[in-house]
């Protein structure tokens, strides 16, 4: 499995279907009005957490992908996906509406993309549906989602093996989110070398320790 982050909450995840064929999932492609450049992507599966311009640029993704835009259970080409409803704010969605948490399972690895989560903590039903997670993609920039401090509490609830922070301030962004440094400080992390992509297999996720992985867009 290979994971590439393109900025904001946009990820490209590639799975091996067989020796010569890959299956690609794209999550939350953004509009360039946020100040970042959106690359041209092709996907088999396209997932949208909520209908805001920094997450719903479907036109940027070619390949006639299977489109998932909300809660439910899906199985597409051997990839198992579950969409779980969540609040985009701390007032039960009354301010910014709802967002969708996605879990993705393939190659015996379970991932979770928290979308634009605004809740201070996950409720019992959400945690039960999320289940045991290997790789967690979590917003950390505050303002429109959870803050660095709040994200650390969510991490404690889920207890993933790998954590990939997302939705934080980057150069040229028009919305001024909090920077990654706040999150790393809260997590007691420093001197993490950003990677252009993460390649991982199930055997890499054995053990009880939790690791933060920083990807560069």
Residue 200 lies in a domain: yes
Residue 184 lies in a domain: yes
pLDDT in tens, 173-207: 777 888 888 899 988 887 788 999 999 988 888 87
How many CB atoms within 10 Å of residue 53?
11
Identify the pLDDT of residue 119: 86
Q: Which parts of the chain have pLDDT scores under 50?
A: none
Task: Tell me how far CA of residue 195 lies from CA of 2, 158, 199, 211, 215, in angstroms.
Answer: 12, 24, 10, 14, 5
Tokens at 144, concatenated: 């429109």
Identify the pLDDT of residue 93: 55
Cα–Cα distance, 168 to 148 (Å, whole number): 10
Do residues 180 and 217 lie in contact, with contact meaning Cβ atoms separated by under 8 Å? Answer: no
Identify the pLDDT of residue 172: 80
DSSP line for the chain? -EEEE-STT-EEEEEEEETTEEEEEEE----GGGSSPPPPEE-SEEE-SSSSTTT--GGGEES-PEEE-SSEEEEETTEEEEEEEEESSSSTTTTT-EEEEEEEEETTEEEEE-TT---SS--HHHHHHH-S-SEEEEE---TTS--HHHHHHHHHHH--SEEEEES---TT-SS-PPPHHHHHHHTT------BS-EE--GGGG-SS--EE--B--
Residue 105 lies in a domain: yes
**Domain limits at 153?**
2-212
Domain count of the fold of the chain: 1
Torsion (CA) 141, 8, 102, 107 in degrees, nearest 10: -120
Identify the pLDDT of residue 50: 80
Do residues 4 and 200 lie in contact, with contact meaning Cβ atoms separated by under 8 Å? Answer: no
pLDDT in tens, 61-85: 888 899 999 899 999 988 999 999 9
Residue 217 lies in a domain: no
CA 20 to chain centre: 27
Do residues 39 and 7 lie in contact, with contact meaning Cβ atoms separated by under 8 Å? Answer: no
Q: What is the CATH number of the domain that holds 71?
A: 3.60.15.10
Identify the pLDDT of residue 198: 94
């Amino acid at each position: 499995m290979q994971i590439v982050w393109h900025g904001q909450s946009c990820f490209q995840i590639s799975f091996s279907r067989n020796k010569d064929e890959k299956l690609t999932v794209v999550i939350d492609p953004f509009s360039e009005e946020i100040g970042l450049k959106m690359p041209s992507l092709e996907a088999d599966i396209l997932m949208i957490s909520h209908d805001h311009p920094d997450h719903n640029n479907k036109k940027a993704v070619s390949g006639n992908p299977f489109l998932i835009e909300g809660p439910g259970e899906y199985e597409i080409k051997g990839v198992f996906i579950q969409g779980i409803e969540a609040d985009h704010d701390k007032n039960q969605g009354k301010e910014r509406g709802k967002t969708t948490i996605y879990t993705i399972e393939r190659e015996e690895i379970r991932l979770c993309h928290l979308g634009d989560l605004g809740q201070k903590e996950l409720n019992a039903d959400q945690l039960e549906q999320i289940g045991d997670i290997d790789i967690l993609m979590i917003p950390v920039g505050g303002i429109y989602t959870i803050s660095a401090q709040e994200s650390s509490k969510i991490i404690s609830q889920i207890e993933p093996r790998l954590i990939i922070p997302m939705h934080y301030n980057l150069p040229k962004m028009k919305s001024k989110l909090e920077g990654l440094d706040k999150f790393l400080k809260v997590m007691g992390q420093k001197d993490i070398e950003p990677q252009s992509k993460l390649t991982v297999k199930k055997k890499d996720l054995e053990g009880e320790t939790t690791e933060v992985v920083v990807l560069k867009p």
